[in-house]
């Protein structure tokens, strides 16, 4: 069932155009919609060598290097190629919590990044996921297609359990070749976030994680005796929430985010925390300034 709230008011839509202008200024001098990939082939700028393995095209063996080193090495070259951007948007029930709701924040983030990508002539696809791929939409290489993306996001409600690994497995058949994949999620998966991100990286995808966080995730409002209900399982736990326990819970939330960041970056996976208290357009500007996601 679609969420009755519209996360895309007129002010947000105006900020999308501002983001487009800023992103194009940042990318001045770079070819729009082009990314550099490493492939073998003639007439391309040399990048590096790698060891030859059976099945490689022998025409790309560097015979000069073989004469010097007596090793079969393949020439890897820089090639400008069109790549799409895929967003896996967590729409599980845990994303319904927060102020604003994490799912609304995630939808704004995905809309802003998709708009910047389309304006840069990238191909964009969005996948709504929970315990698998629930729905998806593809948009062409033009910002005029943003309306299809907004309509898709408006209809994406937060419901169902989280299973990011099954979601990635369900996504892979839609991706015949590796590209850029951005997971937008609160990472509240009982099985962990490591397996799905590792799977993407092992298949050659350029993986990014936008970690949506909210202070209420581990420290609900109020004090005293409370009944805390799991948004996905419906299990209820009685707790006595004191100020000291609230501090401990907040520290645990910070530790979890720091751990996720360190884990991702140590494996070459992009990471950015996306707190709900910071507007989506401001977060996207920060990601753009740091580079590497959309150009």
Give the residue extent of every domain in the chain: 10-30+83-290, 35-81
The pTM of the full predicted model, rounded to 2 decimals, is 0.78
pLDDT at site 234:
76
pLDDT at site 241:
81
Those residues whose C-beta lies under 8 Å from the C-beta of residue 207, and which sit 6 or more positions away, are 181, 182, 183, 197, 200, 201, 269, 270
Report helix angle 164-171 to 194-202, nearest 10. 20
Rounded to whole angstroms, how far apart are CA atoms 278 and 120?
25
Residue-wise pLDDT tens digits, 74-126 = 777 655 555 688 999 999 999 999 888 999 999 999 999 998 888 776 789 99
| Ranges in the chain, pLDDT < 70 | 1-5, 24-47, 55-59, 77-83, 121, 142, 218-222, 290-295
Q: Cα dihedral angle (65, 68, 72, 74), rounded to 10 degrees?
A: -10
pLDDT at site 216:
79
pLDDT at site 34:
47
pLDDT at site 154:
93
pLDDT at site 3:
44
CATH topology of domain 10-30+83-290: Rossmann fold (3.40.50)
Residue 203, Cβ density class (10 Å: 0-12 exposed, 13-18 middle, ≥19 buried):
middle
Instruction: Give the DSSP per-residue string, 179-212.
Output: -EEEEEE----TT-SHHHHHHHHHTT-EEEEEEE
Rounded to whole angstroms, how far apart are CA atoms 195 and 248?
28
pLDDT at site 48:
74
pLDDT at site 94:
93
């Amino acid at each position: 069932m679609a969420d009755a709230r519209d996360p895309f008011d007129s002010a947000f839509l105006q900020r999308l155009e501002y983001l487009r202008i800023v992103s194009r200024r940042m990318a001045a001098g770079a070819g729009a919609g082009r990314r550099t990939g490493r492939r073998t082939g003639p007439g391309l700028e040399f990048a590096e060598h790698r060891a030859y393995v059976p099945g490689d095209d022998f025409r790309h063996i560097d015979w000069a290097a073989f004469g010097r080193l007596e090793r079969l090495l393949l020439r890897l070259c820089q090639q400008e190629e069109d790549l799409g951007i895929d967003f896996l948007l967590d729409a599980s029930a845990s994303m319904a919590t927060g102020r604003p709701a994490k799912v609304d924040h995630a939808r704004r983030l995905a809309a802003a990044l998709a708009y910047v990508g389309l304006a840069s002539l990238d191909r964009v696809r969005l996948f709504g996921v929970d315990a698998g791929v629930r729905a998806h939409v593809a948009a062409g290489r033009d910002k005029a297609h943003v309306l299809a993306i907004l309509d898709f996001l408006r209809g994406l409600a937060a419901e169902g359990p989280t299973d990011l690994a099954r979601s990635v497995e369900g996504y892979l058949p839609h991706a015949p070749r590796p590209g850029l994949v951005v997971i937008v999620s609160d990472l509240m998966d009982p099985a962990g976030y490591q397996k799905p991100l590792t799977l993407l990286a092992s298949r050659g995808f350029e993986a990014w994680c936008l970690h949506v966080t909210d202070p209420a995730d581990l420290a609900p409002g109020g004090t005293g005796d409370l009944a805390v209900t799991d948004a996905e399982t419906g299990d209820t736990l009685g707790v006595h929430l004191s100020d000291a326990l609230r501090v401990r819970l907040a520290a645990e939330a910070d530790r979890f985010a720091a751990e996720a960041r360190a884990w991702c970056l140590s494996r070459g996976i992009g990471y950015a925390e996306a707190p709900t208290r910071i507007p989506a357009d401001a977060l996207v500007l920060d990601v753009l300034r740091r580079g590497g996601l959309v150009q």
